[in-house]
Amino acid sequence: MKRILIIGANGGIGTFVSKQLTQESGFEPVAMLRKEDQQPKFSGMGVESIVADLSQSVDALAEIMTDFDGVVFTAGSGGSTGYDKTLEIDLDGAVKVMEAAEKSDSKRFIMVSVAGADDRESWNSSPIKPYMIAKHYADRVLKNTELEYTIIRPGSLTDDEGSGKITSDLSKASNRSIPREDVATAVTLSIVNNLAIRKSVEMVSGDTLIEEVLSQA
């Protein structure tokens, strides 16, 4: 049984990943939550949870990860916080988790990033410029680790029902959005089928099956 720690599990993408992994034979998701009052939601889904947060030291996080085969990082500071939290969670928090994963030998690492994170020219016109910058540098650090990473870079997130189809060619996409459910499916497929290892995959809604896009990355 492969145990997968989902950091940011209470968010939309993390909740979908938790649900999806419970349906996969040989995989056991564990939700990492900031608050105890979030635990009943996951126990109701049949998902184990632990309470911890990214303010902890690298050593403390590594101790948590000791019994895990992989990590999903889908935590975020959220749109209502200041730039200080963007740096603390989306950049430093992510890097601390990478360091902890290396210490604990949790080799498989899925990072939920953002489309355009490497396109510096686009940052100035983005309403989420600090987030884009934080994700760019977090992704850069991840690429320089020995972890078996996959970086999932979705466009604007929606709560629409997932279609199971995406495109990685954003220049030809009819829009730059994607349902959270489809992003979660990309995360789950990457883990279960060992797809897109040491690859970055940008994605928005499209006409190609998610697994096919990941396989060709």
What is the pLDDT confidence band of residue 82, given thresholds at 50, 70 and 90?
Answer: low
Residue 24 pLDDT more than 70?
yes
Whole-number percent of the chain with pLDDT over 70: 97
Give the pLDDT mean for 80-96: 85
| CB-side neighbour CA atoms (13 Å) of 188 | 25
Whole-number pLDDT of residue 111? 98
Contact 157, 14 (CB under 8 A): no
Joined together, the tokens standing for residue 147 give: 């972890």
Per-residue CA distances from 55 to 43, 62, 94, 141, 164 (Å): 24, 13, 11, 19, 35
pLDDT classification of 80: cutoffs 50, 70, 90: low
The CATH code of domain 2-215 reads 3.40.50.720
Q: Which of 65, 119, 126, 61 is nearest to 95 (CA)?
A: 61
Q: Which of 109-123, 167-181, 187-201 has the highest mean pLDDT?
A: 187-201
pLDDT band of residue 81 (cuts 50, 70, 90) is low
Q: Where are the alpha helices (DSSP H) in the chain?
A: 12-22, 39-43, 58-65, 83-85, 94-104, 120-123, 129-143, 180-192, 210-215
> Taking all residues of the chain, what is their mean pLDDT, rounded to a whole number?
94
- pLDDT tens figures, 36-72: 999 999 999 999 999 999 999 999 999 999 999 999 9
Residues forming a β-bridge with 154: 203
CA angle 21, 71, 37 (to 5 degrees): 70
Active-site positions read 131
Q: HSE on the CB side for 202, CA within 13 Å?
A: 17
Domain ranges of the chain: 2-215
